Amino acid sequence: MVKSSSLEPLLPHNQTSHSRSSKTSIAVLISLFGLLTLLSPSPLSILTSAFSHPSSSSELDSVALRGSCGQAKPILPPSDQHNISSVWEYKDEIVKWHQGAIKIPTEVFDEMGEPGEDKRWDIFADFHKYLEKAYPLVHKHLQRTVVDTTALVYEWVGTDESLKPLFLTAHQDVVPVLPDTVYQWEQPPFGAVYDGTYIWGRGSNDDKSGLTAVMASIELLLSTSDFKPRRTIILGFGSDEEAGGQRGAPAIRDWLLEKYGADSFSLIVDEGSGMQTVWGQTFGLPAVAEKGKLNLNLTVSTLGGHSSVPPPHTNIGLTARLITALEDNPNPIELEKKSPIWGFLQCAAGYAADIPESLKESTVKSIKGDKKAFKELPETFVKAGLGESRTGPGQGNGVQSLLSTTQAVDIINGGVKVNALPEVVTTIVNYRIDVSSSVQALQDRIFSILQSKAEELSLSISGFGHSWSPPSGTFVRGSISLTPAFEEGLDPAPISPTDLGSAAWRLLAGTSRGVYASRPEVSKDGKIVDLSDEEGLVMAPFMSTGNTDTRRYWDFTNNIYRWRYFPDEDGQGAHTINERISADALVEFVRFYQALILVVDASNEV
């Protein structure tokens, strides 16, 4: 089976011809035909076969396209060093470790006071004690540092200081469980019930699964092998990722920068997207970029009074019109060639047998330089979709969200009494900024849209370096203020490499493919099985529509991969009711982290 390489030409290209005369070429052809006549009863059939297409143009396109989506060779650590499949012998322990983590409700909220003053932080001390009890070898052999009271750093010091550390991250905190939704849970949200298939509870998926996988992988390495790392391994567990990572990850970053400096890590792996079967092909989809973020505080101020003599539009009515103006002008869907989604589409066109023909055709044309096809590709992708819906029933179009700056009006506050006209109404709008845009471009666009509506409603408006007021002498109904909510905006993340020239990508992708090709379903002894392209895991770039703690770690390396090695369908209910994770998927997650630690440690390339 021929394996594609990223160095192969994507499409057929002209070859330099040998310098020969036409007469010589004709003579050679006549001689060859004569020889064929002697050797075959039907030389024309041979010529027909030789010069006809061996398969459809679509199949040929697929073969050529695979050159633009080169796949790293599957790799595993040598079994004589450590058999990573031995983790399956400890499935019961892994499940119990995870259950214990889920039972501790490390909930965080958007607005919290200082640790020591706000009692809601106290639960993290209980969680730290639990980790010490559950993972005694980790706490014996790794150096633990508590930063900013609640965040954790572990260092497994290597023997070779010339090798850049490997940084594995996760977060301890979970999204709060709304009391009004508890009755909708099939299992208690902090009961950590294991039903034989799934482990249930808040944080079981997001993101205590990542924390358990990392800690369990190292605990089992220490208990079942004599492995001692050459390369320092650092673990960083934030404590408020679900509240925007305002404290934990920044504290970890600052502590590590002071000790190790910038550009000091070989590779960072954090929570992110996982494995998805799309159009008949299983893809591993690490998020190699993240959207930017802006939370808009839209505040409208007007004069009040008794509700018995209202104006045509109260402050809430005015705010409603401003919100409608924003929602009537969604950000356009776009695709740039630097976008990871463009990389994914190329991989899908090359490997996914069931990709919609219209989408494959547009992708192939775009690769060949058809500018019109590339411009129309986003709309084609939205219409084609990503197979089965991967969004919740209350959400919008997932593909459209990947291709645009999204806008969600999430919070509104206004009015204090039923017979008093509201004087101040505040709205919070959440934006996730596409890689084709920036905070400044988004802010300018928001102001432009709202200024037009402000002129219509006789409201002054200011914010983001702009201002406008009605002409002097004109009645001013009130004012609009635009500011960032909670924190300043964040531009889209730098895009991490995904070509085979990148050692970091080869190690991550190769290890992922090796673990997939040695999973129990296909391998009896835990060794890599030679799978066809259709059976194997195809690694492709993807993008996260949300943000992770990695946004605080950009200074350490360009090699940042937001990647959870398990099928997305095996982890469900993140941020909503009935959150759960497959126990078998969690065990494989542990196996992956053992493999990655050992493979990266053995390499001198990063």
Tokens, residue 284: 């591993």
Q: Domain of 449: which CATH number?
A: 3.30.70.360
Cβ burial, residue 461 (10 Å; 0-12/13-18/19+): buried
Q: Is the pLDDT of residue 179 over 50?
A: yes
Predicted confidence (pLDDT) per residue in 413-445, tens digit: 999 999 999 999 999 999 999 999 999 999 999
**Is 52 a domain residue?**
no
What does the pLDDT read at residue 545?
Answer: 86
**173, 242, 270, 533: the active-site residue:** 173
Average pLDDT score over residue span 363-381 = 96
Mean pLDDT score, 548-555 = 98
> What pLDDT shows up at residue 61?
62
pLDDT of residue 508: 98
Residues contacting 58, CB < 8 A, separation 6+: 357, 360
Structure token pair of residue 570 = 């095996």
Q: Looking at the structure, do residues 428 and 360 belong to the same domain, yes or no?
A: yes
Q: Are 230 and 163 in contact (CB under 8 A)?
A: yes
> Does 350 share its domain with 296?
yes
Strands 542-544 and 267-278: unpaired
pLDDT value at residue 50: 35
Confidence grade of residue 471 (pLDDT, cut at 50, 70, 90)? very high
> What mean pLDDT is predicted for residues 563-570?
95
CATH number of the domain that residue 516 is part of: 3.40.630.10
Q: What is the pLDDT of residue 15?
A: 33
Taken in order 407, 411, 414, 418, the sign of the CA dihedral is: positive
Place of tokens 């499949």: 85
Does 298 share its domain with 284?
no
Q: Is the pLDDT of residue 27 over 50?
A: no
Give me the domain span that covers residue 341. Answer: 292-388+397-484
pLDDT at residue 190 tops 90: yes
| Domain membership flag for residue 47 | no
Determine what percent of the chain is predicted with pLDDT higher than 90. Answer: 85
What's phi and psi for 283, nearest 5 deg? -110, 145
Tokens 């009605």: give the residue. 470
| 560-567 and 267-278 beta bridge pairing | parallel
**What integer is the mean pLDDT of 261-271?**
98
Same domain, 286 and 343: no
Could you check whether the bond before residue 549 is cis, i.e. omega within 30 degrees of 0?
no
Average pLDDT of the segment spanning 343-357: 96
C-alpha distances (whole Å) from 579 to each of 175, 179, 274, 573 are: 11, 15, 16, 4
- 206 within domain boundaries: yes
* CB-count exposure of residue 316 (10 Å: 0-12, 13-18, 19+): middle
Is 445 contained in some domain? Answer: yes
Query: Do 435 and 531 lie in a common domain?
Result: no
Residues 275 and 166 in one domain: yes
Q: What tens digit of pLDDT does each residue of 101-132 get?
A: 999 999 999 889 999 999 999 999 999 999 99
Q: Are 336 and 436 in contact (CB under 8 A)?
A: yes
Domains in the chain, number: 2
Q: Which of 207, 219, 241, 570 is catalytic?
A: 241
- The span from the CA of 415 to the CA of 420, in Å, is 8
Crossing angle of helices 91-102/208-224, nearest 10°? Answer: 140
Q: What sign does the CA torsion over 521, 215, 567, 206 have?
A: positive
pLDDT band at 279 (very low <50, low <70, confident <90, very high): very high
The Cα 266–Cα 576 span in angstroms is 35
Question: Contact at 8 Å (CB) between 368 and 65?
Answer: no
Range 10-14 contact pairs with CB under 8 angstroms and sequence separation of 24 or more: 10/64, 10/65, 10/67, 10/68, 10/367, 11/64, 11/367, 11/368, 12/64
The answer to whether residue 255 is domain-embedded is: yes
Q: Determine, yes or no, domain membership for 213.
A: yes
Same domain, yes or no: 459 and 523:
no
Say yes or no: 219 and 97 in one domain. yes
**Cβ neighbours for 373, distance < 8 A, ≥ 6 positions apart:** 362, 365, 366
Lookup: tokens for 439: 């905070």
Question: Would 45 be classed as within a structural domain?
Answer: no
Helices 315-327 and 439-457: crossing angle, nearest 10°? 130
Starting from the edge strand earliest in sequence, which strands make up the sheet with 466-468, in order?
406-414, 424-433, 292-302, 478-484, 459-463, 466-468
Q: Contacts for 61-64 with beta carbons within 8 Å, 24 or more apart?
A: 61/349, 61/360, 61/364, 62/349, 62/350, 62/351, 63/4, 63/350, 64/9, 64/10, 64/11, 64/12, 64/350
Final residue of a structural domain among 484, 503, 522? 484
The fraction of the chain above a pLDDT of 70, given in percent, is 89
| 173 catalytic residue (yes or no) | yes
Torsion angles phi and psi, residue 74, rounded to 5:
-60, 135
Q: Which helix (H) or strand (E) holds 484?
A: strand 478-484
Q: 375: closest CA among 337, 346, 348, 406?
A: 337
Over the stretch 63-108, which tens digit does the pLDDT of each residue have?
777 888 999 999 999 988 999 999 999 999 999 999 999 999 999 9
Other beta carbons less than 10 A from residue 137's beta carbon: 13
Task: Please check whether residues 502 and 459 belong to one and the same domain.
Answer: no
Query: Does residue 389 surpass a pLDDT of 60?
Result: no
Token couple for 267: 């590779």
Give the chain's mean pLDDT: 90
Please identify, among 484, 516, 551, the residue that sits at the C-terminal boundary of a domain.
Answer: 484
Whole-angstrom Cα distance, residue 245 to residue 256?
16
pLDDT at site 395: 85
Count the Cβ atoms, other than its own, within 10 Å of residue 154.
Answer: 22
- The one-character DSSP state at 84 is G
Same domain (yes/no): 380, 514: no
The tens digit of pLDDT for each residue in 489-512 reads 999 999 999 999 999 999 999 999
233 occurs within a structural domain = yes
Once rounded to an integer, what is the mean pLDDT over residues 186-206?
A: 98
Supply angle C-alpha 114, 116, 117, rounded to 5.
Answer: 60
Token reading at 561: 């991969």
Which residues are within 8 A (CB) of 501 and not within 5 positions of it... i.e. 6 or more apart? Answer: 6
pLDDT recorded at residue 394: 81
pLDDT confidence of 5, banded at 50, 70, 90?
very low
Report which DSSP code applies to 227: -
Q: What pLDDT is attached to residue 35?
A: 40
Mean pLDDT of 194-202: 98
pLDDT score recorded for residue 8: 30
Q: Is 434 a catalytic residue?
A: no
Decide if pLDDT at 241 tops 50.
Answer: yes
Domain boundary (452, 484, 516) is at: 484
Q: Would you place residue 54 in the very low, low, confident or very high pLDDT band (cuts 50, 70, 90)? A: very low
Following DSSP, what letter does each residue of 38-83 receive, concatenated? HH-S-HHHHHHHHHS-SS-HHHHHHHHHGGGG--PPP----TTT--
Q: Locate all alpha helices (DSSP H) within 328-356, ordered by sequence.
A: 340-351
- Say if residue 62's pLDDT is above 70: no
Q: What is the per-residue pLDDT for 41?
A: 39
Q: Is residue 232 located within the same domain as residue 149?
A: yes
At residue 110, the pLDDT reads 87
Residues 194 and 229 in one domain: yes
Tokens of 377: 């590709």
